[in-house]
């Protein structure tokens, strides 16, 4: 079943989110100032054990099992084919961090911080990010530092997307992971940009179409093209139902290195450029620039790496991109250079309540 884009989370306005993020960061800094620096480092290191625990409990589907109320650890072990004692120790650690709550007699219940592990929430993104291969990749990250290449080439030679596309199971996990995060990101994007006035929206690398469906649901005068590799479209049950959009949504398989559907007045690209090096990004942008409508726009939706020495979502995911894909997150100036190298100009950058910003590129010289 394709997820329902109507059921999107509702976020507070950007200024409120920014204010509370500022307070949150200040409080972390204050708390660190009163902590021995060695303890701060040890606490960072403990995250490895915490992440291993999140990974296995997510894989076992414990949050889904607990959806109807508390259960004993022996019941959870019986339902998941695990041993009660090690499962208890892992659950105890998670509960000590607020992920699940431990009740009497080794019973556990969900909390608001365990619910993201449920199906339909972030379950598949957690699987994608914390599966056993990821732990091996990050154990070998020195490879990227010595060669400048992605660490994943130690584990498979073909590109990451070919690798995932070649396995039904991996492809499925990846596409569902992207749809999981899209659900959180799309509400933020829709509240930051008015899509009315764009009659033909092409979502480049649009995955299983969650973002485009959400746009078309909110803007009935627009039509859309979902463009991605053919392997992403192999199971029609995972894609938007064309009947719902009455012919307004078309699916075109292909590679953006070969061609891009022509004539769009808005080309959206969410989480695409960060997967590629600068040369490939310029190739993708140039391919769009060649075929977009005369008054067309490109909306690049990515994290923008912020100022040095400040907590930055982009600086974090940059390492994931470096090791996994050989890609990178970019600063505003780096985006400007890419855009100009493709014969375009950067019109604006707009923040959203999510870590993603909307970077708008337009033809350098108006072709009207």
Q: Are strands 107-109 and 200-204 parallel, antiparallel or unpaired?
A: unpaired
Nearer Cβ to ligand SAM, position 191 or 255? 255
User: Is 229 or 282 the residue whose CB approaches ligand SAM more closely?
Assistant: 229
Binding site for ligand SAM (CB under 6 A): 161, 178, 182, 205-207, 228-229, 232, 255-257, 270-272, 275
- Minimum CB separation from ligand SAM for residue 206, in Å? 5
The minimum distance between CB 57 and ligand SAM, in angstroms, equals 25
Shortest separation between residue 307's beta carbon and ligand SAM, angstroms? 25
Active-site residue (options: 2, 44, 143, 274): 274
The smaller minimum CB distance to ligand SAM, of residues 73 and 338, is found at 338
Q: Give the count of beta carbons closer than 10 Å to the beta carbon of residue 167.
A: 12
Looking at beta carbons only, is 161 or 267 nearer to ligand SAM?
161
Q: Which residues are paired to 361 by β-bridges?
A: 298, 346
Closest residue to ligand SAM: CB criterion:
205
Residue among 1 and 365 whose Cβ is closer to ligand SAM: 1
- The 3 state secondary structure assigned to the chain is CCCCCCCCCCCCCHHHHHHHHHHHHHHHHHHHHCCCHHHHHHHHHHHHHHHHHHHHHHHHCHHHHHHHCCEEHHHHHHHHCCCHHHHHHHHHHHHHCCCCEECHHHEEECCCCCHHHCCCCCHHHHHHHCCHHHHHHHHCCHHHHHHCCCHHHHCCCCCHHHHHHCCHHHHHHHHHHHHHHHHHHHHHHHHHCCCCCCCEEEEECCCCCHHHHHHHHHCCCCEEEEEECHHHHCCHHHCCCHHHHCCCEEEEECCCCCCCCCCCCEEEEECCHHHCCHHHHHHHHHHHHHHCCCCCEEEEEEEECCCCCCCCHHHHHHHHHHHHCCCCCECHHHHHHHHHHCCEEEEEEEECCCCEEEEEEEECCCCC
Pairing, β 223-228 against β 200-204:
parallel
> In this structure, what are the phi and psi dihedrals at residue 238, rounded to the nearest 5 degrees?
-90, 0
**Shortest distance (Å) from residue 255 CB to ligand SAM:** 4
Task: Give the nearest distance from C-beta 207 to ligand SAM in angstroms.
Answer: 4
| Residue 274 appears among annotated catalytic residues | yes
**Closest to ligand SAM by CB, 205 or 314:** 205
Closest distance to ligand SAM from the beta carbon of 145 (Å): 23
Of 139 and 254, CB closest to ligand SAM = 254
Tell the smallest beta-carbon distance from residue 88 to ligand SAM (Å): 36
The upper half-sphere exposure of residue 167, i.e. CA atoms within 13 Å in the direction of its Cβ, equals 10
Active site residues: 274
């Amino acid at each position: 079943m394709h997820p329902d884009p109507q059921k999107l989370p509702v976020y507070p306005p950007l200024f409120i989110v920014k204010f509370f993020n500022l307070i949150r960061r200040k409080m972390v800094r204050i708390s660190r100032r009163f902590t021995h620096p060695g303890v701060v480092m040890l606490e960072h290191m403990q995250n490895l054990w915490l992440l291993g625990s999140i990974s296995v409990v997510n894989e076992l589907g414990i949050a889904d099992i607990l959806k109807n109320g508390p259960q004993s650890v022996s019941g959870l072990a019986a339902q998941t084919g695990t041993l009660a004692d090690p499962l208890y120790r892992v659950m105890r650690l998670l509960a000590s961090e607020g992920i699940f709550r431990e009740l009497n007699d080794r019973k556990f219940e969900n909390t608001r911080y365990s619910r993201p592990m449920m199906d339909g929430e972030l379950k598949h993104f957690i699987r994608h990010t914390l599966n056993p291969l990821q732990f091996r990749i990050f154990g070998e990250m020195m490879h990227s530092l010595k060669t400048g290449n992605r660490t994943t080439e130690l584990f498979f030679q073909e590109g990451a997307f070919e690798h995932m596309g070649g396995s039904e199971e991996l492809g499925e996990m990846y596409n569902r992971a992207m749809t999981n995060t899209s659900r959180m990101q799309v509400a933020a994007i829709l509240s930051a940009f008015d899509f009315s006035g764009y009659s033909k929206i092409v979502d480049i690398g649009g995955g299983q179409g969650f973002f485009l469906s959400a746009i078309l649901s909110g803007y009935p005068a627009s039509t859309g093209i979902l463009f991605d590799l053919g392997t992403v479209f192999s199971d029609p049950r995972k894609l938007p139902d064309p009947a719902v959009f009455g012919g307004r949504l078309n699916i075109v398989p292909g590679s953006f290195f070969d061609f891009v559907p022509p004539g769009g007045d808005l080309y959206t690209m969410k989480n695409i450029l960060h997967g590629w090096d600068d040369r490939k990004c310029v190739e993708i942008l140039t391919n769009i620039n060649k075929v977009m409508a005369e008054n067309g726009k490109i909306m690049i939706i990515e994290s923008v790496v912020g100022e040095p020495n400040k907590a930055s979502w982009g600086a974090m995911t940059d390492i994931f991109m470096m090791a996994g894909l050989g890609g990178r997150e970019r600063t505003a100036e780096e985006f400007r250079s890419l855009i100009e190298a493709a014969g375009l100009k950067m019109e604006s950058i707009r923040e959203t309540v999510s870590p993603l910003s909307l970077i708008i590129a337009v033809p350098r010289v108006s072709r009207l």
